[in-house]
A and B are shown apart, each in its own frame.
Chain A
């Protein structure tokens, strides 16, 4: 597994955890009938901040851990070669493409639920969910391309 694959896997796991946290809290709100604006926006803020912070921390930790593991394997410190070459960039581009398609369809579905009479808060909660789902799909697409070769 290459450095990029490991990094994407860490990102995927963090997005899955964030999605899980979001869904659990959202379903709890729905079950208790407390889907109100201030609670939902509070949850959205936590999720957005967590997405940014967790990804930055996960990326830094992955770099540190991989450098240590590589040094232990080689029995000496070597300058890590975490380069992203043209194939990595192509795969990243395809992953972003998958993310955008997922998010676009998600926004369309969310707006349609609003058009068919659901409250705006349902639309907002769905858009946030599809934003996280889009990232997950993008990461899965990248891992799939790496595993397949391209």
Chain B
């Protein structure tokens, strides 16, 4: 299973929100800039709480920020999905 299935539009949303910097977003959601970089690069999947906080900053539903590519999961038995 591909570990990087949680995709995000943070970079695009930042651009559409007055070109918000990673530092500004990090300050608003209470994490470090490195964490925002890791989330944007799909290297780190945030907790549900942090994901909601990011969505709140942009004023959009959670689904508009994060998406989950579950295509591979639907093709295998439920007990194989980790």
Contact = CB atoms under 8 A, between A and B. Distances in A.
B6 to A, nearest CB: 12
Contact of B44 (A3, A4, A83, A87): A87
Contacts of B38: 87, 149-150
Q: Which secondary structure dominates chain B's binding surface?
A: loop
B32 A88 contact: yes
A86 B32 CA distance: 10
Contacts of B47: 86
Contacts of A4: 32
A2 B32 contact: yes
Chain A interface size band reads 10 to 19
A148 interface: yes
A83 B30 contact: yes
A19 to B, nearest CB: 28
A149 B32 contact: no
A87 B34 contact: yes
Nearest to B47: A86
Nearest to A148: B43
Nearest to B33: A2
Given A87-B35, A88-B32, A146-B34, 14 more contacts: A2-B34, A4-B32, A81-B32, A83-B31, A85-B30, A85-B31, A85-B32, A85-B35, A86-B31, A86-B47, A87-B32, A148-B43, A149-B38, A149-B44
Interface of A: 2-4, 81, 83, 85-88, 146, 148-150
27 contacts: A2-B34, A81-B27, A81-B32, A83-B30, A83-B31, A83-B32, A85-B30, A85-B31, A85-B32, A86-B31, A86-B35, A86-B47, A87-B31, A87-B34, A87-B35, A87-B38, A87-B44, A88-B32, A88-B35, A146-B34, A148-B43, A149-B37, A149-B38, A149-B41, A149-B43, A150-B43, A150-B44
Interface of B: 27, 30-32, 34-35, 37-38, 41, 43-44, 46-47, 50
